[in-house]
Amino acid sequence: MGTFSIVYFALLIAATAAAAYFKNRTALLLLFTLLIVSFLSGLLGGTNVLVGFTIAAGLLAAAAGVSYSFKEALIAILPPEGAKLMRTAPLTAAFGLLVILTYIVAAIFAPVIAPFGEAEVIGGAFAPPDDQMLLGGDQLGRDLFSRLIYGARNTVGVAIVTTALAFLIGTVAGLVAATMGGWVDQLLGRIVDILLAIPQLIFALLLLTIFGAGIIELTVVIAVLYSPLVFRLTRAVAGNIVVMDYIEAARLRGESTWYLVSREVLPNITAPLAAEFGLRFCFVFLAISALSFLGLGIQPPTADWGSMVRETASLISFGLVTPLIPAAAIALLTVAVNFVVDWMLYISSGLKE
């Protein structure tokens, strides 16, 4: 057993014993689980696996610490209602909010943060990382770090616009179907069933091949393909509202359909729609990245994380992790949004204290 393993296990056992002595049940369970997993990892994989596991655990601990600090900062600066809400938020939600905020800042201030232009060639093909290019160069000699920053603006921006358009189409159609009912509901329902019966990725590839792979075409196609899912949710939750007594009372008063939708139905379905927006954004975001990886998404020279993975994929054969960096950016945002959505669902469900 190497020196690293001896020091590591000694510190971990000491921390576990301290947690047991001070009767901190949560810390004890966490440290004891870490001790068992570390022992099995070192026994099966040796010191190298143990070092990797230690680095991963350290990163998780650092993420937890930063998330806690960010949560406390929000509690300090937010108004009383917001501070009260953040006090009940789990660390995962704080981590998700921090990641989302970081991506938003990177997207807005990309020209300021990025050291080079989005399509500026400054070195050789697949240049290694150095003082000038922090992550190295791509196949044309462009700075990968700069393109990663600009990718936050392009990939995330297009995903947000696409999700918003999908929600506009699906929500309006779902509210119309639930409110009017009858043949309108049946017609819209059958159209949605047809769209849902077709595999979305294959249908998107077909439509983009026919109409072109521009940003406008990509946005419209993905929005139309994902709007049926929003329609079904809106139709379901709005259908439970339109049968309520106060809706019938409003109809008897002679209120218009617009009044029923805007003043009675829509305010009562905002919470599930907000949570659905976050979930749907993840799917749209992954779909756009997948299409870009296949060459039918955001087109070069515009920086996009999906196309960046495709352009640098050959480096994996040489043991380089460069293609994993934009892939990790995609995965990190997806996980962060899901953390926040889980928190929103918990709040809207009425389970909060």
Per-residue pLDDT band at 349 (split at 50, 70, 90): low
**pLDDT score, position 133:** 82
Per-residue pLDDT band at 33 (split at 50, 70, 90): confident
**pLDDT score, position 238:** 84
**Range from 47-61, 145-159, 223-237, 317-331 carrying the lowest mean pLDDT:** 47-61
pLDDT in tens, 202-261: 888 888 888 877 888 889 999 999 999 889 888 888 888 877 787 778 777 777 777 777
Q: Specify whether the CB–CB gap between 137 and 143 falls below 8 A.
A: yes
Tell which wins on pLDDT, 159 or 8. Answer: 159
CA nearest neighbour of 227 among 162, 175, 169: 169
**pLDDT score, position 271:** 78
pLDDT in tens, 172-181: 888 888 888 7
**pLDDT score, position 59:** 78
**pLDDT score, position 163:** 92
> Is the per-residue pLDDT at 53 higher than 50?
yes
High-pLDDT (> 70) share of the chain, %? 94
Domain ranges for the chain? 3-66, 117-348
CA–CA gap between residue 271 and residue 291 (Å, rounded): 30
Arithmetic mean of pLDDT, 163-184:
87
pLDDT in tens, 60-94: 778 888 888 898 888 889 888 888 888 888 888 89
**pLDDT score, position 353:** 42
**pLDDT score, position 352:** 44
**Range from 23-32, 40-49, 229-238 carrying the lowest mean pLDDT:** 40-49
Per-residue pLDDT band at 46 (split at 50, 70, 90): low
**Range from 29-33, 236-240, 283-287, 292-296 carrying the lowest mean pLDDT:** 29-33
Arithmetic mean of pLDDT, 297-326:
81
CA nearest neighbour of 180 among 257, 263, 265, 269: 257
CA–CA gap between residue 5 and residue 62 (Å, rounded): 21
| Buried residues in 196-214 as b, exposed as e (16+ CB within 10 A) | eeeebeeebbebbeeeebe
**pLDDT score, position 45:** 65
Instruction: Report in angstroms the alpha-carbon separations of 298 from 54, 103, 157, 181, 293.
Output: 38, 18, 11, 39, 9
CATH class of segment(s) 117-348: mainly alpha
* N-term to C-term CA, the chain: 49
Tell which wins on pLDDT, 205 or 5. Answer: 205
Tell which wins on pLDDT, 312 or 70. Answer: 70
Per-residue pLDDT band at 98 (split at 50, 70, 90): very high
Upper half-sphere CA count for residue 313 (Cβ side, 13 Å): 8
Arithmetic mean of pLDDT, 295-307:
83
Q: Alpha helices, DSSP H only, in the chain?
A: 3-21, 25-77, 80-87, 91-108, 110-113, 144-151, 157-180, 182-197, 200-211, 215-241, 245-252, 257-259, 270-293, 305-311, 324-348
Report the mean per-residue pLDDT for the chain: 82
